[in-house]
Structure formats: C-alpha cells, structure tokens
Structure 1
Amino acid sequence: MRRESYNDLLALIAVARERSFTRAAAQLGVSQSALSHTIRALETRLGMRLLTRTTRSVAPTEAGERLIRTITPRFEEIDSELAAVTEFRDKPAGTIRITATDYATETVLWPRLSPVLHQYPDLKVEIITDYGLSDIVADRYDIGVRHGDQVARDMIAVRLAPEMRMAIVGTPEYLKTRALPRKPQDLTAHNCINLRLPTLGGFYPWELKKGSREVQVRVDGQLAFNGTYPMLAAALSGYGLAYIPADLAQPHVKAGSLVKVLEEWCPAFPGLHACYATRREFSRAMTVVIDAIRYRKE
C-alpha cells in the first residue's frame, strides 16, 4: 500500500467514528466532497465497499468494520509513541556517551555535569577516559573532548575552556639533587615522568616554545603513565619532573610543594572543545549536556 493510503485510512476511521461525512470532514479540516472522494478512492484501490451510505447515516460494511477494528489500535499506538517522544523536549532522558582525558573529566566535565544530573534524573552520562583520540562517530560517542587544534573538519566544536598553559614541575627536594634546567636540552639529564599516548605509539615528546623557537624534547625517566593525575602524584612524591597543565600544578606551587622550571619555554595550547558530528540528531539530552559544559567567561 502506498504511504498516502495511511491518510486515507485515518479518514475512514474518522467517518466510521462520527457516522457522518459532515462531522468527520469538519474534524479533519477538509471539505465534505474531498472526504467523499478520498473514501471512494480507497474503496476502489481495495476493490470493495468499506462504508454503507444512506441519506441519514454512514456505517461500516463487514469488511470495513474488520479493517477499522484492526488498524485503529495501530494508529493509537503510533500516537502514543509520538506523545512519549515529544516529552523528551521538556524532560531530557537517555544516555550521552563522552570520550575525554582524565584531566578534562576532572576539571571540566564532572564539576559542570554533577548538578545537572541531580536536576534531570532520567539523563545518563557515560564518560570514557581515553588519550587515544577515539573516532567519535565510528565508536558511537555522542561527544568527544578535544583541544582546539585536534577538532576534525567535519565536526561541530563548542569551547569548554580557555587556552591551556603547561608547566614543568618538580619538588624542591628533587631539584636539590640535580642542576636546575636552564634550557630544554638540560631535561635529558633529569629523571622525567613520561606520558604514553596511543596515538603516537610511544611517549609524548614535551612540546616547548619560546618566541619563534619550538622544540620537542624526548625525555627519559623511571616512571611513565597513561594519565595526567598519576604524573602529578609521582612528581609530588619526588620522582622527577612532570610536564602537566599549569592549573593542576598551581595549588601545589603556591603551597611550596612543587617548583616550576623553564617557565619561559612552557607554551599555551588551544583550549578544550566538545566535538560532535554535524549529522547527529540533536536530542534534548544532548542540548542539556552541551549547555552545561560549555565555557562561560566569568
């Protein structure tokens, strides 16, 4: 049956319910002659009479009664499901899957999403900690948190944070045992805490910049991790120098438990962004999450 026949079936149900072409036409917002033409066309396609017409009333034939009895509950189910889906506009529900680093999760996502989850109990958020720059679409994530220079061209990006400055830090006790680094090359004489990145297939080279001079230093040391927070903990325990976001280090620098070195060589990187596919259906739940985590200048 052609899809336009669905409207014809709805017209048939309306006439049978009202027992009148006049009342059914008024309910459907069409003329009585147009409604009569619709029913005749439906009967012609099916090759049978569905309604018995008299000067005073309209009633279904036996075949018409059977058809109406069968299809009416189906349309009622569709109406019910449409009403249920409509509720999502006002009541966010469903699961939003996010891939992000531990740093982005701890400093941006969790602090901003926590109150939202209390507000919308039917909203679920799944955060996967990952430094591997997963394929957001192929791996069925709704949102990927990336630095500005990592955003793919076919993705929409919403800023989550300002520029991120890096810092090289170690404890005062550790630095007493080694010569203070004065230039990037001096780092090779230090016990440095490495970060392993799946995207590189090895350790992350420390990206340093001073004016127009840029260098990548491949450091070495006793420890390597695949997350930022263990690196911070190791540095605080005196195991060497760590290259971490400056905002994570700053409270410990202020307290005197960590010291910054080579500050003039530590660059700022494009801030974190929430990325999602342009072709993705934008649900109410997605709208709520994006609005909660987006960057707002204080």
Structure 2
Amino acid sequence: MQRADLADLNAFVTIAEHLSFRAAAGRLGVTPSALSHTMRQLEERFGVRLLHRTTRSVSLTDAGVRLLARLRPAIDQIAGALEGLAEERERPFGRLRLYATHMAATAVIARVWARFLATYPDVHLEVRLGEAPIDIVGRGFDAGIGPQDRIAGNMIAVPVMGPTRVAVIGAPLYFSRRRTPRVPEDLLRHTCVRYRRHQDGDELDWVFERDGVSQRLSVHGQVMVNNPDLAIRAAVDGLGIAYTIEAQVEPFLRSGHVIRVLEDWSPSFQGLFLYHAGNRQTPAALRALIDMIALDRKADDPAVSVIENPFTADWRGQPAA
C-alpha cells in the first residue's frame, strides 16, 4: 500500500462518518472540491464505486459499507497509537538508557533514582557503567553522564554536579593504630588503597593543594583497585587510607564508618555533565530526569578553583569506541 492510499482511505472514512463532503472537508482542513477529487481518484484506482453522490446527499454503496467496516478498527488503532505517542511526549514513559562513569552513577544518579522512579513508575531505568568515552548514540543510549572532556562537540551538555572536592578517608579502627596524617607527606608512612584507572592505565597519583601550593604523591599499600566503590570499601574494612570524592563517600562519613583527614589539603576538580544528542525532541523521561537532578543539585561556588579530574585524566584524547 502506498502512503497516498492511507491518506485517501482516511478521507473516505471521514466522509462516511459525516455523510457530507462539506463537513468532512472542514474536519480534514481541505476544500470540498479537493475532497471530491480525492474520492474520484480512489474509486478509479481500485475500480469500485464507494459513494453515491447527489447535489443534496451522500450515501455509501454496498462496497463502501464493507470497506468502512474493515477500515474503522484499523483507523481507530492508528489514531490510538498516535494519541499514545503524544502522551509519551508529555508523560515520562518507557526505557531510559544512561551511560555513566562510576563517579557519576554514585554522585548523580544514585542521589535521585529512588525518587525519580517513584514519581514516574512507567519509566524503566537502565544504567551502564564505564570509564571510557563511547559513541552513546551509536550504542543506543539516551544520554551519558561524565566529565566534560568526553563530550562530543555536537552534543547538548547540562551541568549536573558542580566542582567536587577530594576526600581522603580511613576507618576509625585504622586510625586507632596509626597517627592521623597532618600534611600530605605523612601518607608516605601509611598504608594506602592504591588506584589504577583501568586495566592498562597508570596508577593514580594523589594530588593535594593548599594556598596555591600543589603536591603530587605516589602512595604505597598492599591493595590496588580500579573501582572507586571498591576503594571506599577497602577503607571501610580498615585496609588503608583511600583517595576519593565527597559525593561518593558522604553516606560513610555520616554513618561514622570512615573518618576524613587532610581536608584542608583537599582540592576540587571539575564537576560532571549530562550530555545527549542535539535534537529538539528530548524524550520526556530524560527531560524529567534532568529537571529532578537540577532540583537536587547543590549551588556551585564560583570562587572555587578546580584541577583536572585525576580519576579520568588518562582517558583524555582516546577515541570513542
């Protein structure tokens, strides 16, 4: 069936429902003469008369009655589908796929997802974690969340977390046996949870800053991980001091599972962004998530100076998969 056939059949159903070319033409937004021409073409194309016409009335032929009986359910289904599509544009619905760094998942998504899903129960949220930049459109994701340096130039970027500070932490049990570090150099006499960004990446140096003075340390310890959540868990279990960010460790600080040290030496680095394809039809579910994150987001401090994100720096410049 050609696309023109569908439009012509819809015109036929509209005429059949009104039994008036003038009323049907008003409903369809065309002139009565144009609608009459459409019907003549349809009848000639299929070689069947569908309507009886006089100057005063319109009625269906037997063939027209049979065709209408078959078309009406199909037309109603199409109309229902289009109405459902319009509802989806206004109401968050369906699957929302996000690609996020571990940091973004913990610091941004996990802060709002319970409230988001409770508010929008028709949304199914899928979160895929990864540290490497990828082509989110090619991989079928609605949006990505991560540092600014991984966002392609044709993407729309929305800030979802302002500059965030480093947090150096350890368990109370660990510090009960060791003297609390007062300056970064003291860490060289401590057991630290070392961090490698990915399988082939370099080990993370710990960066500190105070009063414009920066220090970079290569720490020592028995445990090395490549996952920030695992680094926090190692610290909670008393395996050593971990280097992480405030947003990820807040629950453990509140509960007393860890203690923060060297806070006056803890620098801030650039926050995180949600990025998506630059089109005008942003899915309702994504738009609702962005709005909820914006309400939850803490106000940025414009006076804060930021350093390069040490957890993602070695991905810079690598091509997206």
Aligned to 2:200: 201
Aligned to 1:258: 259
TM-score, normalising length from structure 2? 0.74
Give the aligned residue type for 1:117: L
- Report 1:140-219 matches (<5 A): 140-170=140-170, 171-173=174-176, 175-176=178-179, 182-183=184-185, 190-198=190-198, 201-206=200-205, 208=207, 210=209, 218-219=218-219
- Assess, with a 3 A threshold, how the Cα gap between structure 1 residues 11 and 139 changes in structure 2: closer, same or farther: closer
Secondary structure of the residue aligned to 1:160 is strand
Aligned to 2:75: 75
CA contact (8 A) 1:173 1:238 kept: no
- Assess, with a 3 A threshold, how the Cα gap between structure 1 residues 182 and 241 changes in structure 2: closer, same or farther: same
CA contact (8 A) 1:101 1:130 kept: yes
- Assess, with a 3 A threshold, how the Cα gap between structure 1 residues 272 and 221 changes in structure 2: closer, same or farther: same
Unaligned 5+ residue runs, structure 1? none
Tell me how far 1:173 sits from its aligned partner: 4.2
Give the aligned residue type for 2:85: V
Give the aligned residue type for 1:297: A
Aligned to 1:235: 235
Give the aligned residue type for 1:118: A
Unaligned 5+ residue runs, structure 2? 301-321
CA contact (8 A) 1:196 1:224 kept: yes
Return the alpha-carbon distance in structure 2 between the equivalents of residues 152 and 74 of structure 1: 43
Aligned to 2:269: 269
Aligned to 2:299: 297
Return the alpha-carbon distance in structure 1 between the equivalents of residues 218 and 279 of structure 2: 40
Q: Deviations over 1:233-280 (max 9, x none)?
A: 32344433321114556774997963534954x432110211222248
Secondary structure of the residue aligned to 1:4 is helix
Tell me how far 1:81 sits from its aligned partner: 0.9
Q: % of aligned pairs identical? A: 33
- Report 1:23-42 matches (<5 A): 23-42=23-42
- Assess, with a 3 A threshold, how the Cα gap between structure 1 residues 35 and 246 changes in structure 2: closer, same or farther: closer
Return the alpha-carbon distance in structure 2 between the equivalents of residues 148 and 278 of structure 1: 16
Tell me how far 1:78 sits from its aligned partner: 0.5
Return the alpha-carbon distance in structure 1 between the equivalents of residues 10 and 254 of structure 2: 72
Return the alpha-carbon distance in structure 2 between the equivalents of residues 58 and 249 of structure 1: 75
Aligned to 1:8: 8
Give the aligned residue type for 2:261: K
Q: Deviations over 1:178-201 (max 9, x none)?
A: x97655xx8666533123333x62
Q: Deviations over 1:148-197 (max 9, x none)?
A: 333332322211111012144445346439x97655xx866653312333
- Report 1:124-143 matches (<5 A): 124-143=124-143
Tell me how far 1:219 sits from its aligned partner: 4.1
Return the alpha-carbon distance in structure 2 between the equivalents of residues 69 and 272 of structure 1: 57
Give the aligned residue type for 1:72: R
Give the aligned residue type for 1:21: F
Give the aligned residue type for 1:195: Y
Return the alpha-carbon distance in structure 1 between the equivalents of residues 119 and 225 of structure 2: 36
Return the alpha-carbon distance in structure 2 between the equivalents of residues 248 and 143 of structure 1: 21
- Assess, with a 3 A threshold, how the Cα gap between structure 1 residues 175 and 12 changes in structure 2: closer, same or farther: same
CA contact (8 A) 2:106 2:247 kept: no
Secondary structure of the residue aligned to 1:197 is coil
Return the alpha-carbon distance in structure 2 between the equivalents of residues 195 and 182 of structure 1: 17
Tell me how far 1:203 sits from its aligned partner: 4.9
Secondary structure of the residue aligned to 2:165 is strand
CA contact (8 A) 2:196 2:204 kept: no
- Assess, with a 3 A threshold, how the Cα gap between structure 1 residues 279 and 18 changes in structure 2: closer, same or farther: closer
Greater shift, 17-26 or 287-296, is seen at: 17-26
Count of equivalent residues: 293
